[in-house]
Amino acid sequence: MASIQAPHDPSGDKIAASQVSGTAVFDPAGEKLGQVYDIVIDKVSGQTDYAVLSFGGFLGIGDRYHPLPWQQLQYHTRLGGYVVDMNRAQLETAPHYDADDIGRWSGGHSRAVDAYYDGGITPGGGDAGLGSAPIR
C-alpha cells in the first residue's frame, strides 16, 4: 500500500508534499548533499516544476537553497532519498539563493534554473558555465 507518510515506500505512486520536504538528497556516489526544503508548483496546472534543495549551514543559518528541475531527482529506495546527477562541486556552481531570499520567486529564477540544467549536467563533468552567480 502506498503511504503519504512513507516516501521510501517504492510501491506507492503518490506522496504528500509535506513528506517530500526533509527527504535526503544524495550524489551519484551516495554522499549526502542535503535535503529537500520545499517544492515549487505551477498554480494553474499543479505541475511540480522545481524541488528546492537546502545544503550546508547549521540549523538553517548559512543555508543555501538550490532549485532543481523536478526531473533531476530520482528516488532511490536503498538510500531512502533522492539522487541527483551532480556532485557537491557542481552543485555549488549551480543557481542558488541565500536564506534571506527564500521568500522570492520570479520568472528570472525559473529562467536561470532552466537555462542551467537545460545546458546539460553530466556526471563527473565540468561546470556548465551558467548560474555560478547567486540568483537575485
Residues that bind a second copy (CB under 8 A): 1-5, 7, 12-18, 20-21, 38-50, 52, 70-71, 75, 102-107, 110
Q: Taking the complex as a whole, how short is the minimal distance between the CB of residue 19 and a second copy, in angstroms? A: 8
Q: Taking the complex as a whole, how short is the minimal distance between the CB of residue 62 and a second copy, in angstroms? A: 20
Cα separation, 73 vs 52, in Å, equals: 11
Cα separation, 34 vs 29, in Å, equals: 14
Cell representation of residue 32: 549526502
Q: Taking the complex as a whole, how short is the minimal distance between the CB of residue 48 and a second copy, in angstroms? A: 3
Burial label, 14 (beta-carbon count in 10 A; 0-12, 13-18, 19+): exposed
User: Closer to a second copy at the Cβ: 28 or 69?
Assistant: 69
User: Closer to a second copy at the Cβ: 3 or 93?
Assistant: 3
Q: Taking the complex as a whole, how short is the minimal distance between the CB of residue 17 and a second copy, in angstroms? A: 4
Cα separation, 91 vs 32, in Å, equals: 12
User: Closer to a second copy at the Cβ: 14 or 129?
Assistant: 14
Cα separation, 40 vs 47, in Å, equals: 9
User: Closer to a second copy at the Cβ: 35 or 110?
Assistant: 110
CA angle 128, 134, 136 (to 5 degrees): 125
Q: Taking the complex as a whole, how short is the minimal distance between the CB of residue 74 and a second copy, in angstroms? A: 9
User: Closer to a second copy at the Cβ: 2 or 29?
Assistant: 2
